[in-house]
Amino acid sequence: MIRHGAEDRTLRTVPIGGQPIALRLPVRRLGCRRCGRGRQAAIRLARPFRRFSHAFERYALSLLSHMTIQAVADHLKVGWDSIQAPFKRHLKTRFGQPKLKTLQRLAIDEISIGHGHRYLTVVLDWDTGAVVFIGQGQGADALIPFWKRLKASHAKIEAVATDMSPAYIFAVRENLPKALHGFDHFRGVKRFNDRLSDFRRELRREAEGPLGKTVLKGTRGRILKNPENLDEAKGERTRLEEALRLNQPLATAYYMKEEFRHFWHQASVAAAGRFLDDWCRRAEASMLSVLTKMPSTFRMHRTGLVNYRRCPISTGPLEGVNNRIKTLQRQAYGYRDQEFFQLRIYVIHRAKSVLLGGPVKRSGPTDSRVRIGHVRLKVAGRERALRFYWGAPGSAIARRYGRPAAFVAAGGYHHLGLNTPEGRAGSPPTVGTTGLDHVATHYPSRGASADARHRLVAAGIPLEAASDHGVREALCRRDPDDNGTEP
């Protein structure tokens, strides 16, 4: 090794006061006596061939927990690739090869990731909710690399949950012969509901007279619903009972479907087996096409169905992960780098839904059933009040009438009037004076109320108090003119 002097190397480091900072330092050049090649000596501040210091990369990674890659790149005044590359290296180092030794229970399913029959096969650690393997394609072939790694890890798998796909059945039987293989009960119920829906459609086509067709029209949702979920206020139970009373074949299929729900709640494996055998015999005796096809399916998958009682796990958590994967893909408008996409999936169980900051934009109402009482407010500044009542909560319509007045709508009607002539440059009422206590906005569900709260937090509007009144929840805040509001 010989020295060939030094040359300057420029590194970007952590910005100061929002201004980019670059370090320029001399780095020795070293040469090899044998091959004659030269290179720069390694330094502690940065990796070889990198333009950013370790401190800069750590700072960027900390920002990524609160911001998107593009937002971090804009903030640090660098390109998108300059932030994505260290983020990808970080994910690959920490999560590129999940450990399989501690696995006990697994869930396996596939997810479509785009047009052209593009699929990923996902394996989930059922106990922790972490994705431990992602295979290209679908079926048994996509799992071959996973079985090799699992065998080398010497993990002791107790149970596996999949759908009723023959590919998964044979793959699990071949590679995990001692593990309990259970089928997701949702798959069995869905298969039954699909056939029941087709049967109802067939009966409606064959119904004689307008009365028979009218009774069956619109009953699909009521037939597939669980009885406890029927809406009494909308008369769903009454219409369902009328349709079942006038159509005996549909009534038989419906009550058999409801009776099969008890299979999943049997006290023991033996009781579940007896229940399944008895149900299959009665289904075959009914001579209805929708029921006579189900016994052969259930008998073919009898072991997997009964195993649900031995180990009641399902692919439900994996379905939730699949939904988050699709959301991740939509937010990024797709991924060009598939390796980076898979690395993001490996850490998706650690991700939390964070509403990023930024200017509040006009948006539609969170729910068409949102209501505001008819109220007229005197405000000191119209535009300031509009940003509070229109931009943050997401009300639908704001109509300006000249300079002094505006109306804010929820549910399609302008209920909230904002007037400035009598309140222009006015001051809020002092504590202890009489007058309006607060304006209430009614949201039909907790989800709609939570969405409005997230909008307020994103707009930087603090909450004054929160309470639970048993029949409703209240989130109290003050508008710019110190009027109380309660969404």
One digit per residue, pLDDT tens: the chain, 487 residues? 566 678 888 888 888 877 888 888 888 888 887 777 777 778 888 888 888 888 899 888 888 877 788 888 888 888 988 999 999 998 888 888 888 988 999 999 888 887 767 888 999 998 888 899 998 888 888 899 999 999 999 989 999 988 888 888 899 889 998 888 888 777 677 777 888 888 877 777 766 556 555 666 767 777 777 777 777 777 777 877 777 777 788 888 888 888 888 888 888 888 888 988 898 888 888 888 878 888 888 888 888 888 888 888 888 888 888 888 888 888 777 788 888 888 888 888 876 543 333 333 444 444 556 666 667 777 777 667 766 665 545 554 455 555 566 766 655 554 566 666 555 556 666 655 666 666 667 766 666 666 666 666 666 666 655 555 445 556 666 777 767 666 5
Domain range 371-428+436-486, its CATH number among 3.30.300.30, 3.40.50.300, 3.10.180.10, 3.40.50.360: 3.10.180.10
Q: Which helix (H) or strand (E) holds 468?
A: strand 465-468
Please state the separation of Cα 13 from the chain's center in Å: 36
The residue type of 425 is: A
Hey, how many other C-beta atoms are within 10 angstroms of the C-beta on 456? 20
Can you give the pLDDT at residue 146? Answer: 92
Can you give the pLDDT at residue 356? Answer: 35
C-alpha span between 259 and 278 (Å, rounded): 11
| CA neighbours closer than 13 Å in the CB half-sphere of residue 288 | 26
| CA torsion angle 410 415 420 424 (round to 10) | -70
Per the DSSP assignment, residues forming a β-bridge with 15 are none
Can you give the pLDDT at residue 313? Answer: 82
The residue type of 156 is: K
Q: DSSP strand E in 392-454: where? A: 398-401, 405-410, 413-419, 438-442
Q: Which CATH architecture has domain 105-184+315-346?
A: 2-Layer Sandwich (3.30)
Per the DSSP assignment, residues forming a β-bridge with 22 are 12
Start-to-end Cα distance in the chain: 73
Residue 121 CB partners (closer than 8 Å, separation 6+): 108, 109, 110, 133, 134, 135, 136, 137, 138, 139, 142, 143
Can you give the pLDDT at residue 230? Answer: 75
Can you give the pLDDT at residue 300? Answer: 84
SS3 content of the chain, % helix, strand, coil (to 5): 45, 20, 35
β 484-486/473-478 pair status: antiparallel
Nearest partner of 487 among 259, 464, 470, judged by Cα: 464
**DSSP letter, residue 430:** P
Q: Phi and psi dihedrals of 336, rounded to 5?
A: -80, -35
C-alpha span between 427 and 429 (Å, rounded): 7
**CB neighbour burial string for 267-278, b if at least 16 within 10 angstroms, e if fewer:** eeeeebbebbee
Can you give the pLDDT at residue 365? Answer: 46
